[in-house]
């Protein structure tokens, strides 16, 4: 028992000191600067001028509008489309097959996918090349804004391709907890069509189970930076991108309004989630009113079909985007209307010294360290819960999700200011630590359910045989959990590889990873070079998932009881 | 209203049927009973008649309701109600909303609420409209489920061991409640059960599978 308490104390200390306090301190710094206090540039007087400056900055209003439209729009669309696809496919496709279909989209980092989409959709992109000149009549790239369009359509498309698979995944696991088949039969026996039963009965029960993931999606879409740089409107950009530009502008006078905007970004996310929660009772009343009328309307099917075809189109686009990265990275001569390169070359790949070698190495080191630390912390937390024989408190659960719900830009700059003062900014350690903030929650989420599902009987049997708590952990629990542990590690590694802002801010521009390089190069550089970076960036998570699946299969090749699903 | 099975049997697609073909005529208000050992396919037959057959199973023969051939129709247009073993009240809706969900759409406006209230009263559940179904007793749940099924105005009702979770005393009470309603509304019923007393109380044809 004492042992458990010590372990939990260590975990609590690490979490408080390593995650909660830094986030709060970062916000504290940002807020101080937002109200005029940033001694590093000689600003020492509290005032509201940063806000006045912010509102007067050119493009501020447009940026704000773009953020709201792309953030809320993509989230609502993703939810509706995923629900429609889920309704049509559930029961017709095994959950495991669905998982395999979604895996590439979940694993691919936002930046790589966005670069691939840009390769695909620009007027000189692959789609235009495949359709030209026979269908379009173009023999040179037309002057159209298909990417970086002023409406943010390309950005919304990019967000949808990442968010829909995520929502489908959480919907799938939520549906596993509901007696869908029986309720479908009950609903249809009362005269309701399949689609209507989904909309009126099943989805309202799924919703509460996926509410938190929806909020994560919403918060992310409102504050995304890397994807918005690559696909979003460029002048003015979305608010998060604008803030990043102001922060990194040579003119230090912009730091104060940028801080105000970073604080505003956090307020926007909080307000959007608040508005969403506020709209829930309204939606519930409307839904119940509709349900009580008892309309059988057999016409929901076409809607589901339409939603599903949109989802399929998006997934095909996403897959093509990933393929186009590879094609471009090995293309040599590829003049415009040709469907495929006229000549191929591995030149981009043969020169790691040109930059991608170092970036690859840094990405690998940061990813492995951040993942290992997060995994250790997660195991310590879960083991501490086991030893205390206590369920997780709500506040602890909220703590895990905190880094995923607050916008990164809101506290990372402030935190960097703090680090600068402590003299630890700009190093690998600072970057690794900042990434753990975002890797740990995903590792924890991935590991919690399998850990709790572990059969207690085995652990009790070990105890009855005289094994102490540490031996039970090392000799029974961890080996039995190797599959979910590996999957959690792969997810953590993928999250780490995809991180953009934490690397950029905490590395103070001195730590270059595949992601920061790819985003920087994405606009206007040689597509062959960008392709190499993006392929590597997208490839690392895939390799991690491959290893995660292969290791347990190999270790337990002669153990049927452990070779089943994760 | 009558329900007719003509040489009906079910089985896995491309496999052997689970039982010999059944031919059965059920009069309005009559409740026929299917009995037989577990796993023989009684519930699968009900699924086939109601249109809820799981993927991989197939049905042969004809099922007619008032001369209407059913097997080609989707479940929701067959007008066949089902009483399930665990009542299957939707857990996220109140008791009243469960009934409102069942009530035919042709009843409109304020009449809908009145129809639900009346059904609740008939089920001895007056004033229960706002209740969470999880707070009901087993017998109350069974009665609410019957009312929900009846409000949809089915032309036949399938009963898939609906009384098996109830204790003996309650069982007799709920059973006569259900059968009386079916008789009064002249709805043919087909029941699957393991309990001979259910079949006796139903008073209709008994088919041994």
> Which H, E and C letters describe A346-406, residue by residue?
CHHHHCHHHCHHHHHHHHHHHHHHHHHHHHHHHHHHHHHHHHHCCCCCHHHHHHHHHHHHC
- Chain B interface test: which of A190, A198, A209, A288 (most B C-beta within 10 Å): A190
Q: What is the dihedral of CA A342, A347, A349, A350, to 10 degrees?
A: 150
Q: Mean per-residue pLDDT for A388-406?
A: 82
- Is the pLDDT assigned to residue A560 strictly greater than 80? no
Chain B CB within 8 Å of residue A193 CB: yes
d(CA B139, CA A176): 28
Which residues in chain A have Cβ-Cβ distances shorter than 8 Å to B108?
293
Whether residue A204 lies within 8 A of chain B, CB to CB, comes out as yes
Residue B119: predicted pLDDT: 95
- Give the single-character DSSP code of B171: H
Counting as low any pLDDT under 50, the low residues of chain B are none
Cα–Cα distances (Å) from A116 to A88, A328, A537, B106, in that order, read: 29, 9, 12, 53
Q: Which residues contact A233 (CB under 8 A, 6 or more apart)?
A: A66, A148, A149, A150, A151, A152, A155
Q: Show residues of chain B in contact with A298, CB under 8 Å.
A: 76-77
- Please check the confidence at residue A1 and state whether its pLDDT lies above 60: no
Q: Report the residue from A179, A182, A294 with minimal CB separation from B112.
A: A294
Nearest CA in chain A to B94: A288
Whether the predicted pLDDT of A243 surpasses 50: yes
Q: For residues A399 and A306, which has the higher predicted lDDT (pLDDT)?
A: A306
Tell me the chain B residues in contact with residue A186 when contact means C-beta distances shorter than 8 Å: 82, 84, 88, 90
Contact with chain B for residue A191, Cβ under 8 A:
yes
Torsion of the alpha carbons at B14, B19, B21 and B26, rounded to the nearest 10: -130
> What pTM, to 2 d.p., does this model score?
0.88
Share of chain A above pLDDT 90, in %: 55
CA-CA distances (angstroms) from residue A227 to A71, A155, A366?
12, 7, 21
- Asked if residue A351 has pLDDT above 90, the reply is no
Spatial distance between the Cα atoms of A60 and B190, rounded to a whole number of angstroms: 69
Task: Identify whether the C-beta of residue A119 lies closer than 8 Å to the C-beta of residue A112.
Answer: no
CA distance A320 to A326: 10
In a 13 Å sphere around the CA of A38, the CA atoms on its Cβ side amount to 25
Cα–Cα dist B73/B71, whole Å = 6
With H, G, I as helix, E, B as strand and everything else as coil, classify residue B6. Answer: strand
Give per-residue pLDDT as tens, A81-93: 999 999 888 878 8
pLDDT in tens, A128-171: 888 888 888 888 888 888 888 889 999 999 999 999 999 999 99
Kindly determine whether residue A188 and residue B51, on different chains, have CB atoms separated by under 8 Å: yes
Indicate whether this complex's ipTM tops 0.95. no
Instruction: Give yes or no for A289 touching B (CB within 8 A).
Output: no
Is the CB of residue A181 less than 8 Å away from at least one CB of chain B? yes
Asked whether the predicted pLDDT for residue A563 surpasses 70, the reply is no
Q: Which residue of A has its CA nearest to B85?
A: A182
Q: Are A380 and A10 in contact (CB under 8 A)?
A: yes
- A509 touches B: beta carbon within 8 Å: no
| Chain B residues in contact with A296 (beta carbon < 8 A) | 76, 105
Whole-number Å distance between alpha carbons of B139 and B143: 6
The 3-state DSSP class for residue B59 equals strand
Q: Is B147 in contact with B119 (CB distance < 8 Å)? A: yes
Of the candidates A63, A97, A387, A362, the one whose C-alpha atom is nearest the C-alpha of residue A222 is: A63
pLDDT in the model for residue A566: 38
A288: contact with B, CB 8 A cutoff: yes
Asked if the Cβ–Cβ distance from A182 to B84 is below 8 Å, we say yes
Among candidates B80, B82, B154 on the partner chain, residue whose Cβ is nearest the Cβ of A186: B82
**pLDDT value at residue A300:** 66
Verify whether the Cβ–Cβ distance A185 to B55 is below 8 Å.
no
Q: What is the number of CB-based contacts under 8 A between chain A and chain B?
A: 87
DSSP one-letter code for A159: H
Pick from A336, A153, A115, A314: which is nearest to A233 by CA? A153
Q: Which residues of B touch A291 (CB under 8 A)?
A: 93, 97, 100-101
Interface test mutation site (partner B, options A94, A178, A185, max chain B beta carbons within 10 A): A185
Residues of B with a Cβ under 8 Å from any A Cβ are 47, 50-52, 54-55, 74-77, 79-82, 84, 88, 90-93, 97, 100-105, 107-108, 112, 148-149, 152, 154, 158
CA atoms B60, B63, B68, B73: torsion sign? negative
Long-range contacts of B122-128 (CB under 8 A, 24+ apart): B122/B147, B123/B147, B123/B177, B125/B95, B128/B95, B128/B96
Residues in chain B: 209
Residue A565 has pLDDT above 60, yes or no: no
- A199 secondary structure, DSSP code: I
Is the pLDDT at A2 greater than 80, yes or no?
no
Residue A59 has pLDDT above 80, yes or no: yes
In chain B, what residues touch A187 (CB-CB under 8 Å)? 76, 101
A428-457 per-position pLDDT tens digit: 999 999 999 999 999 999 999 889 888 777
Q: What whole-number distance in Å separates Cα of residue A448 and Cα of residue A544?
A: 20
Tokens of A68: 């709201």
- B65 neighbourhood in chain A, CB within 8 Å: none
Core vs surface per residue A396-405: b (16+ CB within 10 A) or e:
eeebbbebbb
Query: Shortest Cα distance from B53 to chain A (angstroms)?
Result: 9
Residue B133's pLDDT is what? 92
Average pLDDT, chain A: 89
3-state secondary structure of A331: strand
Query: Considering only A371-375, A478-482, A534-538, B127-131, which range has the smallest mean pLDDT?
Result: A478-482
Instruction: Tell me which chain A residues have a C-beta less than 8 angstroms from the C-beta of B74.
Output: 188, 193-194
Q: What are the backbone dihedrals phi and psi of residue B34, each rounded to the nearest 5 degrees, phi first?
A: -105, 125
Query: Who among B84, B105, B149 is closest to A295 (CB)?
Result: B105
Local structure of residue B103 (DSSP, 8 states)? S
Write the residue in B79, B97, B108 that is nearest to A191 by C-beta. Answer: B79
Is the peptide bond prior to A236 cis by the omega test (within 30 degrees of 0)?
Answer: yes
């Amino acid at each position: 028992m004492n042992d458990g308490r010590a372990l939990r104390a260590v975990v609590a200390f690490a979490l408080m000191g390593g995650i909660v306090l830094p986030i709060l301190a970062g916000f504290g710094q940002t807020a101080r600067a937002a109200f005029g206090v940033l001694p590093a540039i000689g600003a020492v007087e509290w005032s509201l001028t940063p806000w006045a400056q912010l509102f007067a900055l050119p493009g501020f209003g447009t940026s704000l509008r773009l953020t709201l439209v792309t953030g809320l729009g993509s989230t609502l669309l993703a939810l509706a489309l995923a629900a429609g696809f889920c309704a049509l496919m559930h029961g017709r496709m095994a959950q495991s097959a669905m998982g395999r279909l979604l895996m590439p989209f979940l694993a691919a980092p936002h930046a790589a996918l966005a670069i691939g989409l840009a390769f695909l959709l620009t007027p000189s992109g692959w789609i235009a090349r495949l359709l030209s000149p026979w269908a379009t009549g173009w023999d040179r790239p037309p002057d159209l804004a298909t990417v970086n369009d002023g409406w943010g359509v390309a950005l919304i498309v990019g967000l949808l391709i990442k968010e829909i698979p995520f929502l489908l995944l959480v919907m799938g696991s939520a549906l596993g907890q509901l007696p869908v088949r029986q309720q479908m039969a009950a609903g249809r026996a009362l005269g309701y069509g399949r689609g209507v039963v989904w909309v009126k009965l099943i989805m309202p029960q799924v919703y509460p189970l996926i509410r938190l993931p929806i909020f994560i999606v919403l918060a992310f879409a409102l504050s995304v930076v890397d994807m918005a740089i690559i696909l979003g409107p460029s002048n003015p950009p979305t608010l998060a991108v604008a803030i990043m530009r102001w922060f990194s502008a040579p003119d230090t006078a912009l730091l104060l309004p940028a801080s105000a905007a970073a604080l505003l970004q956090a307020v926007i996310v909080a307000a959007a989630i608040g508005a969403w929660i506020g709209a829930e009772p309204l939606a519930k009343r409307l839904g119940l009113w509709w349900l009580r009328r008892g309309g059988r309307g057999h016409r929901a099917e076409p809607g589901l079909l339409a939603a599903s075809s949109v989802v399929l189109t998006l997934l095909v686009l996403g897959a093509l985007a990933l393929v186009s990265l590879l094609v471009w990275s090995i293309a040599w001569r590829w003049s415009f209307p040709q469907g495929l390169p006229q000549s191929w070359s591995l030149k981009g790949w043969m020169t790691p010294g040109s930059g991608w070698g170092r970036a690859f190495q840094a990405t690998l080191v940061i990813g492995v360290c951040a993942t290992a630390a997060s995994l250790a912390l997660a195991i310590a937390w879960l083991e501490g819960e086991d030893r205390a024989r206590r369920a997780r408190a709500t506040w602890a659960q909220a703590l895990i999700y905190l880094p995923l719900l607050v916008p990164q830009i809101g506290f990372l700059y402030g935190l960097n200011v703090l680090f600068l003062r402590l003299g630890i900014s700009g190093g690998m350690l600072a970057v690794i630590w900042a990434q753990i903030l975002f890797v740990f929650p995903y590792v924890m989420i991935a590991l919690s359910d399998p850990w709790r599902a572990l059969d207690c009987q085995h652990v009790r049997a070990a105890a009855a045989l005289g094994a102490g708590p540490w031996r039970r952990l090392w000799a029974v629990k961890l080996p039995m959990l190797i599959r979910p542990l590996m999957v959690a590690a792969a997810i953590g590694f993928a999250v780490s590889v995809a991180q953009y802002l934490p690397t950029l801010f905490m590395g103070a521009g001195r730590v270059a990873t595949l992601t920061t390089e790819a985003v920087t190069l994405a606009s206007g550089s040689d597509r062959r070079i960008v392709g190499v970076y993006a392929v590597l960036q997208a490839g690392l998570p895939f390799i991690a998932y491959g290893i995660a699946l292969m290791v347990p299969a190999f270790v337990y090749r002669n153990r049927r009881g452990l070779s089943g699903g994760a | 209203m009558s329900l007719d099975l003509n040489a009906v049997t079910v089985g896995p697609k491309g496999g052997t049927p689970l039982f010999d073909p059944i031919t059965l005529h059920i009069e309005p208000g009559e409740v026929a009973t299917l009995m037989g050992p577990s796993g023989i396919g009684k519930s699968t037959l009900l699924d086939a008649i109601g249109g809820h057959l799981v993927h991989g199973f197939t049905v042969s023969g004809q099922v007619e309701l008032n001369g209407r051939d059913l097997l080609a129709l989707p479940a929701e247009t067959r007008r066949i109600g089902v009483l399930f073993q665990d009542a299957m009240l939707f857990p996220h809706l109140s008791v009243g909303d469960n009934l409102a969900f069942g009530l035919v759409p042709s009843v409109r406006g304020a009449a809908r609420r009145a129809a639900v209230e009346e059904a609740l009263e008939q089920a001895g559940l007056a004033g229960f409209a706002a209740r969470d179904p999880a707070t009901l007793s087993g017998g109350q749940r069974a009665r609410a489920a019957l009312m929900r099924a009846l409000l949809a105005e089915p032309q036949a009702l399938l009963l898939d061991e609906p009384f098996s979770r109830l204790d003996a005393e309650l069982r007799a009470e709920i059973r006569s409640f259900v059968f009386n309603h079916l008789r009064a509304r002249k709805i043919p019923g087909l029941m699957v059960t393991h309990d001979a007393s259910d079949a006796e109380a139903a008073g209709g044809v008994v088919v041994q599978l």
